[in-house]
Amino acid sequence: MFEDLLKERKSIRKFKETPIEKDKIIKILECGLLSPSACNVQPYRFIVLLGQKKNEFSKEVFDGIFSFSSFVSKAPVLIVIVRIKTNVKMKIGNFVCDTDFSLIDIGIAGEHMVLKATELGLGSLWVGWFDRKKAKKFLKLSKNESPEIIIAIGEKDENPQFRRKKKFEEATTFME
C-alpha cells in the first residue's frame, strides 16, 4: 500500500483551477505537522495561499527570471513552507555536523504533505524557483523567517508518465 502511494505520487505541472475543500487542505497540513524533526524543534510554519491572495503572490514571486515557474499560479492551493531560524542548540549541531538540519526537517514535512495530497487524489509539485525576497516581503515574514519552498496542490489536469529512477544497484551499497 505505502509503496503504491509512492509510485502514484508524481510532479504535476498542470492543474485544474477547481477549488480544493478546506478539510482536505487541513488534513494535508496536519500530516506536515506529524513529521519528525531534529530535536523536535519543528523549525517551520506553513502559509496557505488561496484565491486572490494566491494570485497576487504568484504575480510577485513568479516574475522576471522566475517566470519559468508561472504555470504554478494555476494550482488552487499554494503552501509556502517558512523556515524559522532555530535555537542555539540546533545552531551548534548544524555547525558541528556541517548540516542545516532545518532544511532536512522542511523536506520531511513537505514530503508528508505531498504524500497526503496524493492519498486524497490530488496532485502536487515542489517549487523552488521563485523570488524569495519578494515572497518574504509579501508574506510579511520576520527577520528570523525565510520562505524555503512552495508546494502547489490541486486536481490534476495531466497524468505524466512514470519517470525513470536510478536502478537499485546504482543507488545502493551494502557494507558488511
CA–CA distance from 51 to each of 37, 44, 55, 83, 158 (Å)? Answer: 31, 23, 6, 24, 22
What's the rounded Cα separation, in Å, for the pair 69 and 60? 12
Identify the structural domains of the chain with CATH numbers, from first to last: 7-157 (3.40.109.10)
If one compares 100 and 68, the residue with the highest pLDDT of the two is 68
pLDDT digits (tens, 9 = 90+) for 18-34: 999 999 999 999 999 99
pLDDT digits (tens, 9 = 90+) for 38-68: 888 899 999 999 999 999 999 999 999 999 9
What's the rounded Cα separation, in Å, for the pair 149 and 83? 9
- Detail the DSSP E strand segments found in 37-76: 44-49
> CB within 8 A of 116, min separation 6: which ones?
27, 28, 31, 32
